[in-house]
Structure 1
Amino acid sequence: MGTLAVEPATHSSPPPGPDRPAPRRSARLYGPLLAFLIASGAFCASWAARGTFPFGTTGRAVNDQANQYVPFHRALWDLVHGRAAGDLLFTWRGGFGQQFLSDYHTYLGNPFSWLAVLVPRAHVDLAVFAITPVTTGAAAALMTVYLGMLRPGPWWQRGVLGAVYGLCGWALSDASYIPMWLWGLVALPLLGIAVEWCLQERRWPGVALLVALAWFGNFYTAMMATMAAGVLLAVRLILLDLTRAQRLRAVWRAATATATGILLTLPLLLPAFLSSAAAQPTGAAAFDPVRIEVFLTGMLPGTHLWGGRPRLYVASLGLILAGAFLLNKAVARRTRLVWAAAALLVLVSFQFPPTQYVWHGLAVPNGNPYRETFVFSGMLVVIAWLSLAHRPRPAHLALSAALLVAAAFALRRTDDFGGATWPAVLGGGAVSLLALVLLALGEKRRVLVPLAAVLMIGVVLAESTAAAVNADARRARERWAKPVATSSESITNHFEAVRSVDGWPAYRTDPGTPHTSYNDAAALRAEGPQYYSSYLPARTYQALEPLGYGWTNSGRTLFGADNPVLDAIFSIGARAEPGPEKNSWQARTFPAPPLVTVRSGPYASPNPPASVYARQEQLLGATVYQVPPVTRGGTATLQTYATRCLPGSEAFWYSPRLYGTLTSGGTARPLEDRTTGVVRLGEVPASGTVDVTVKTRTRGATAGEHPIGCLDRAELARTVARLTTTGATHVTTTGHTIEATLPDGATGTAVLAMTDIPGWRCSTPVKNFHGLVSLDIPPTTKHLSCTFTPQGLTPGLTAAALALLALTSVTVAGLRHRRRP
């Protein structure tokens, strides 16, 4: 194994050796610990300043934090504590049964997510919030270690700049409430350390494990961090004084270790990729870069722009040091040019669609299109450290600070400019400059160094706290990001009501409405249709949407519907609903067929095929609705509908294209187009007349030809009794398997109350029954069973086993080589 040639002292630093002993282990921990405390402390201080939970009564959960991350972490708690209906591969709690492995990899991959299983279930949301300061603190600590590998220097200075990275604009504004994305902040310095090991021709197994750790946490941001690591490797290969053979060996080690590390994650990565391919597609638009002035404004500290804007900034201290880097003649000219060129190329790549698609894995981002900006912030901090480690001159620092102020002045009229930006630029910039000048003077007057240290730590902590407060406050003004509570008396009572009627797997329990989150089935330990995930299969959406279930997010979010026919189809035998007192909930049970029913022959609904009621009947296998023609009147914004039904029947309404208010029988109900689903109107009066008025803001749309269906409850009861009698006598579910015992002489088709998603393998070939799983019943068959295996799991495990074998072989060979005399 060759030795690593290094640059002169002005370029980089050699690793510890016989002539340069490594620092004491305890001393090596000081810098990372300081970085961790500053980064995590700034987040906690910002929450306390805003009075948000757990430092106040204001809700903490933002958008998907309430709708996905807290519910999925509660599902993880249930899984670990043996309370889950399912296992790591599959869950029955949501979407009438869905894969769980891809959800785990995407939403729960951050290793700190396991903090949630260490607390009582009632406090899982608090553990989810704690993931943010803990992860950003870990990222800051690892960046401190990486900076020390690039260039030695005082531990506290590296710790401060490590915290500057952990508190970059991307972390404060974009990913502060997204546990799995925050792992990308950790992945970048992790892979930077791996790059240095490759250059030193050391620890190939360690490099592979660091890559695997980055990709296990979250493949999306790990992919971005891996590409950034490629840039870091290229820069170091250019700057270090290496032979051609040494460069080739470094590239070979990096490539093979990266491939091995990624292959180790393939049991999670491949199923997630295939689940994404089978998921309901989104309506993501093509990348449209923001205007150049908006883009540049995103580099100013403390700025939080609306919508999908790039948050590129770091604290003023980092910006001033990075600006002085190009002027610092203590750094070799080649080093300055190469690092500056690399950072500039990365920055420019964010504005061009082809390179943006590469950063995002050749996909159009659904949401903020600038999700990779932490990469630039990381490079900015590296440049700032190289500048600080080479003792920049006060004049150069002052010029850099002046340029920062000038840039803020030039961009002051950009949309949404303001908030914490001027205080950060003027106040934070002035204190940062003062601290750096004192540090420079401290070379001759050592008494000034502690003062400089206090100022540097204080300004980063204060400025980042203010920026986080500003980001939270401005984001909360957007309707989609208004923080909500994830713990309350109502939520606790809702959970207890659901548990009081638990009957799984004899029947399902629907958590009811109003919902607490889009994943109430997972959050409240129920088995209803409520499910929100990027992996919601297109087949599930295609099966449930035509039946009258509400949906949103391009079909990746499903809601429940209080409809007796749908309850019968999907074996829902209990439902929670608000009680008479404030924050109270109650639950009721009712007869429901088993999860596996038997259909003896074909059935065709006599009602109009295009109506939601006929589609429900096709699945139920019985005629239970009257779907009469309606008479429409009124105006475009105040529409009236009238029809006649059998007195005593129960009227329902379905209008997925109308948004507004529905009034019938003196009762007003909100209509939110496709989100609402089927609506219960009530009992048809003795006159048989059903009148509906819709005040709508949806111009040009109507309720369609068959919005009203009238349910014969007696006929439905007879149908439920028949399906119960002829259906499975016993059903068991264990993890990702369902087994059913059929009555003697059962013939025809067994219909399982779960959607026909990719991955089901059954005791007889699977057939699609209007979107549900069904099986032909062979003669004399008494037992049926189905097992779910995520697509890609088997080849993923095979590839991971081969990668593990390679990793083990190299490790053993290395140990044997070291033991040779």
Structure 2
Amino acid sequence: MPPVVQTAPDRDALAPSASPPAPAEPQRGRLRAAAGASGLTCVVLCLAGLLAGTYPFGPTTRNIVDLGQQYLPYHAYWRKLLLGEADGDLFLNWSSGFGSNFLGDVGTYLSSPFDLIVVLFPADRIELALYVVTVAKITAAGAAMAYLLLTLRRGPWPVAAVLGAAYALSGWTFNYGATVPMWLDGLLAFPLLCLVGEWARAGRRPVLGPLVVALAWIANFYTAYMATIGAAVVLLVRLVTTDDDRRRLAGLLRAARSVLIGLGLAAPLVTVVFFATRVADPTPPTAFEAVPWSEVFARLLPATASVATPALYIGTAALALALTLPFNRAVPPRGRAVWSAAVVLVALSLQWEPTHLIWHAGASPNGIPYRQTFVLSGLLLLAAWLSTAQGTPRLPALLGGAAVLAVLVLAARDSADIDRWTFPALGAAAGLAVLAAGCAFLASRHTASRVLPLLAVGLLVAAQAGEAAVTGARIERQQLSKVTWAPRLGPWHEDVARSVGRVDTWPNRRTDPGETPGGNDVLVVGGQGADYYSSLTSKVYSETLSALGFGYYAKGRHPVSLDNPVTDAIFSIGARTRSTPTAPLRQDALPEAAVTTVERAVPPLVTVRPGPAAGVRYGDSAFANQELLLGAPVYDMPAEPRRTPAGPGAVTLTGSCPAGSEVWLWAPEFTGSAALDGRPPVDFAGKAPSVRGPMQPLGTVPASGAVRIALHARHGGGPALPRQPVGCLVEDRLDRAVRELTATGATGVRVTGHTLTARLPAGSTGTAVVAAPRIPGWRCATDGAEPAPAARHLGLIAVPLGAGASSVSCVFRPPGLRLGGAAGATALLAMTAVALLDRRGRGSSGRGSSGRRQVFTARATRARSAGIGDG
């Protein structure tokens, strides 16, 4: 706590200082606060991991939900790309999704400067690299907030450091940001954008301001959008409480200029993401439902975790200080009223659907509905600082804040989010905070004492850091017990990677690594598979694979591999690894499996089909759709397999197929088991609309030709089956189709980054089909002609061959790149003009009258002495 109790009335708070400090002093204090906040944040983060026993401080995995399925594999692939070891380049990822728009994924997951840290770590330490990236972002956010606090108002830098760390170690960080590292860039962006607002108010740094805006939006446009709204709120409050009408308008215009130029500079990446979002597989619409206020209040308390309620914890001591602001008469009335109103209105905006939609750019998100909570946490920390920067609030303010805190705790006492550690941690932190306030009060009475101020700060650090460490540890443990998780990378992944490396001959054929624990497997272990999990998974890719019998997670945005010889032939998958776990997956153990590799003859990546590109749509049978895309009949399909009830949730399917053919069951929404007579049961795990099960083999048709399949639903009720659930694959027909496609297909394929060139038999006619999804951005040509937008053949890239051709070439350019480049160039010119005008203006100011400089200096002195801005 500050060592001086603030007792001056409002008019004294605005009195000019007789001897303002030298300009270097505020800057030194800001740098000390930033360094202190980053150090404290780093220590507490590591302590929380140590208490939780999670990697890298223990054996337990941290890879929950998207951390294991998206961010870890993306960072593994990012390292490969930066070191020149990937199959694609910055524009196109050939490894996953059979060819996906990688620049869009970079802009969504990997464009933060912190993500470059991965190149400093070896390939087998990518989990450690991602943890370091996460810690670096969080500590930087704490440093930026501490720096901002001392820019807004002078005060003791140790207290600013503690409050900066409180912002970085909020419940939002532990519950959301630490497991969705890309959002952490928004946590950092908020205080940085508030600094841009301060520079705009003061007419300073006209070039650095737009650059900061651009960097924030490039690092993560999604949370930068929320941070920009939050910074706009702070700027408006500052303009209302500190400036006159003329300066308000000028500051507002300068801030708008910085934001517009910054957005223009970020446009080359942001527009690519925007256009990729437009063609992404849409998730089912989500209706926002506000949670009860008792649940909101509960999330202000320590050790609470939930993805359905706003994670508002900032620490009991920090929260108590924030709640003193409305009662603190040492703060000017207008400041108290406007800042308190801003906090309340932002809190209300979290709970009202129209403003909820504004926070989320017009679309209610699937999953966590309160992603903007870090902005409200930041506002609470600003309120805490403004109430205490000039000294410990007086007793009436402390009692008022404590009373409000008690009411909030009482209202939240029955919340389901309350953990067994919540109230013990709250009580301990509150007790230490009271002792810190007492020491600060005594220090104001005994000004000669050097021990009491240090003791006050030490107790405040202990209260804030200890409570945050317990909160972080408990949230990690709760998440591991409540949500899906993936084990750490281990021998299973290493064995698959070695197996893939031995047989990979891309682009002659694809090598699919099969399924390993986690998701986006090929990004970790190599190869070129179907598995792909991204917010930008294209609709055409998801729909094409679904029509062919592939499965998916995440409502269609995570298609997974299908081990089927027909689709392997379609997508030129000539080598495939298969893994059998040797032990159950555990949170505290590395995964192991027996890995085998199978190879088979498949057509080349580019094949030639007679006639024009197929414009027909897929039907409702995955087996018929596979034959349509392959161009040959390979299944024998019982038209109407007889369905006989066999008890609750049980059905028997009967039909007939050629002896020796392989029986496949396609039941994408079925959850349960299916068994062919005399064969072990096979599990199916469809769960519409989030999970779609892939088709699976059940066994070989006996000599009698009779097919009898017993289905048992896991949760009772009749199993949901499509019209044509059974197909019998005749291997000879498939082999014949593969030979025909190989004979007429490409004689050579060359892939470099985002281009593909294929040699065809001379005079080939019809349509060349590339075994890659026809996502927007592909342009193709024959025999060196001018490229034109690629055609589509049942979801794949198609190139009409006209009267005859001997080669085809295709190039991919992410949609929106040209438009974004034009916007970026325009913004760069605008920023250059602003820089030149500013330089000219400063030169003119230097040659102007000393009287004008004296007036400006006097105003600046009054502003500094009022405690309203040192920046």
TM interval, shorter chain, is over 0.9
- How is 1:176-575 mapped onto 2 (pairs within 5 angstroms)? 176-242=178-244, 244-304=245-305, 306-391=306-391, 392-394=393-395, 396-443=397-444, 444=446, 445-478=449-482, 481-513=483-515, 515-575=516-576
SS at match of 1:741: strand
Report how far residue 395 of structure 1 moved.
Answer: 5.2
**Cα–Cα, structure 1 residues 610 and 334, in superposed 2: closer, same or farther, change >3 Å?**
closer
Please say which of residues 322-331 and 533-542 is displaced more in the overlay. Answer: 322-331
Please say which of residues 557-566 and 290-299 is displaced more in the overlay. Answer: 290-299
SS at match of 2:805: coil
**Cα–Cα, structure 1 residues 602 and 695, in superposed 2: closer, same or farther, change >3 Å?**
farther
Partner of 1:759: 777
**Cα–Cα, structure 1 residues 359 and 745, in superposed 2: closer, same or farther, change >3 Å?**
same
Answer whether contact 1:612 1:654 (CA < 8 A) is retained. yes
Amino acid at match of 2:543: Q
Report how far residue 109 of structure 1 moved.
Answer: 2.5
Amino acid at match of 1:310: P
Which residue of the other structure, out of 792, 803, 809, is the alignment partner of 2:827? 803
Answer whether contact 1:762 1:787 (CA < 8 A) is retained. yes
Partner of 2:665: 653
Distance in 1, matches of 2:197 and 2:776, equals 39
Partner of 2:89: 87
Distance in 1, matches of 2:395 and 2:117, equals 45
Distance in 2, matches of 1:782 and 1:649, equals 38
Answer whether contact 1:62 1:177 (CA < 8 A) is retained. yes
Answer whether contact 2:638 2:657 (CA < 8 A) is retained. yes
Partner of 1:663: 675
SS at match of 2:124: helix
Cα distance per residue 1:531-566 (max 9 Å; x no partner): 111111111112111100001222111011111010
Which residue of the other structure, out of 770, 789, 801, is the alignment partner of 1:777? 801
Cα distance per residue 1:250-294 (max 9 Å; x no partner): 111000110010111111111111111111111132111011221
Distance in 2, matches of 1:614 and 1:734, equals 34
SS at match of 2:517: coil
Give the unaligned 5+ runs of structure 1. Answer: 1-6
Answer whether contact 1:117 1:124 (CA < 8 A) is retained. no
Distance in 1, matches of 2:366 and 2:13, equals 44
SS at match of 1:588: strand
Distance in 2, matches of 1:731 and 1:9, equals 79
Partner of 1:3: none
Report how far residue 125 of structure 1 moved.
Answer: 1.7
**Cα–Cα, structure 1 residues 547 and 347, in superposed 2: closer, same or farther, change >3 Å?**
same
Partner of 2:722: 704
Report how far residue 603 of structure 1 moved.
Answer: 11
Report how far residue 602 of structure 1 moved.
Answer: 7.8
Answer whether contact 1:394 1:440 (CA < 8 A) is retained. no
Which residue of the other structure, out of 772, 796, 818, is the alignment partner of 1:794? 818
Distance in 2, matches of 1:593 and 1:796, equals 39
Report how far residue 684 of structure 1 moved.
Answer: 1.9
Cα distance per residue 1:753-796 (max 9 Å; x no partner): 01111111111653221111111113342111111111111010
Distance in 2, matches of 1:210 and 1:438, equals 40
Cα distance per residue 1:466-506 (max 9 Å; x no partner): 1111211222221xx24432321112112221222111111
Distance in 2, matches of 1:580 and 1:357, equals 44
Distance in 1, matches of 2:440 and 2:727, equals 78
Report how far residue 816 of structure 1 moved.
Answer: 4.5
**Cα–Cα, structure 1 residues 332 and 715, in superposed 2: closer, same or farther, change >3 Å?**
same
Distance in 1, matches of 2:92 and 2:215, equals 24
SS at match of 1:745: strand
SS at match of 1:761: strand
Answer whether contact 1:412 1:418 (CA < 8 A) is retained. no
Partner of 2:75: 73
Report how far residue 76 of structure 1 moved.
Answer: 0.7
Partner of 1:693: 710
Report how far residue 27 of structure 1 moved.
Answer: 5.1
Report how far residue 690 of structure 1 moved.
Answer: 2.1
Cα distance per residue 1:84-131 (max 9 Å; x no partner): 111111111111111011111111123211111221111112111222
Report how far residue 434 of structure 1 moved.
Answer: 1.1
Partner of 1:683: 700
Partner of 1:4: none
Report how far residue 517 of structure 1 moved.
Answer: 2.2
Answer whether contact 1:51 1:58 (CA < 8 A) is retained. yes
Cα distance per residue 1:21-75 (max 9 Å; x no partner): 3228665422111101111222211111111111111111110000000111111
Amino acid at match of 1:648: G
Partner of 1:10: 13
Report how far residue 636 of structure 1 moved.
Answer: 5.0
Answer whether contact 1:235 1:339 (CA < 8 A) is retained. yes
Distance in 1, matches of 2:15 and 2:822, equals 42
Report how far residue 580 of structure 1 moved.
Answer: 9.0
Distance in 1, matches of 2:254 and 2:12, equals 26
Partner of 2:757: 739
SS at match of 1:467: helix
Distance in 1, matches of 2:144 and 2:398, equals 27
**Cα–Cα, structure 1 residues 660 and 13, in superposed 2: closer, same or farther, change >3 Å?**
farther
SS at match of 1:396: helix
Answer whether contact 1:603 1:622 (CA < 8 A) is retained. no
Distance in 2, matches of 1:12 and 1:199, equals 21
Distance in 1, matches of 2:185 and 2:493, equals 29
SS at match of 2:188: helix
Answer whether contact 1:632 1:639 (CA < 8 A) is retained. yes
**Cα–Cα, structure 1 residues 135 and 757, in superposed 2: closer, same or farther, change >3 Å?**
same
Distance in 1, matches of 2:594 and 2:471, equals 39
Query: Between the two proteins, what is the percent identity of the paired residues?
Result: 38
**Corresponding pairs, count:** 806
Distance in 2, matches of 1:383 and 1:12, equals 22
Amino acid at match of 1:763: A
Please say which of residues 624-633 and 76-85 is displaced more in the overlay. Answer: 624-633
Partner of 1:632: 643
1:46 matched to 2:41? The reply is no
**Cα–Cα, structure 1 residues 91 and 8, in superposed 2: closer, same or farther, change >3 Å?**
farther
Answer whether contact 1:79 1:87 (CA < 8 A) is retained. yes
**Cα–Cα, structure 1 residues 495 and 387, in superposed 2: closer, same or farther, change >3 Å?**
same
Report how far residue 421 of structure 1 moved.
Answer: 2.3
Which residue of the other structure, out of 589, 601, 606, is the alignment partner of 1:596? 606
Report how far residue 382 of structure 1 moved.
Answer: 0.7
Query: TM-score scaled to structure 2, two decimals?
Result: 0.89
Answer whether contact 1:501 1:588 (CA < 8 A) is retained. no
Partner of 1:107: 109
Report how far residue 12 of structure 1 moved.
Answer: 11
Distance in 2, matches of 1:519 and 1:226, equals 32
Answer whether contact 1:394 1:437 (CA < 8 A) is retained. no
**Cα–Cα, structure 1 residues 115 and 109, in superposed 2: closer, same or farther, change >3 Å?**
same
Partner of 2:623: 613
Answer whether contact 1:320 1:404 (CA < 8 A) is retained. yes
Answer whether contact 1:569 1:753 (CA < 8 A) is retained. yes
Distance in 1, matches of 2:680 and 2:15, equals 75
Answer whether contact 1:729 1:742 (CA < 8 A) is retained. yes
Structural RMSD (CA): 2.2
Distance in 2, matches of 1:10 and 1:359, equals 36
**Cα–Cα, structure 1 residues 407 and 364, in superposed 2: closer, same or farther, change >3 Å?**
closer
Amino acid at match of 1:108: L
Please say which of residues 686-695 and 65-74 is displaced more in the overlay. Answer: 686-695
Distance in 2, matches of 1:241 and 1:565, equals 71
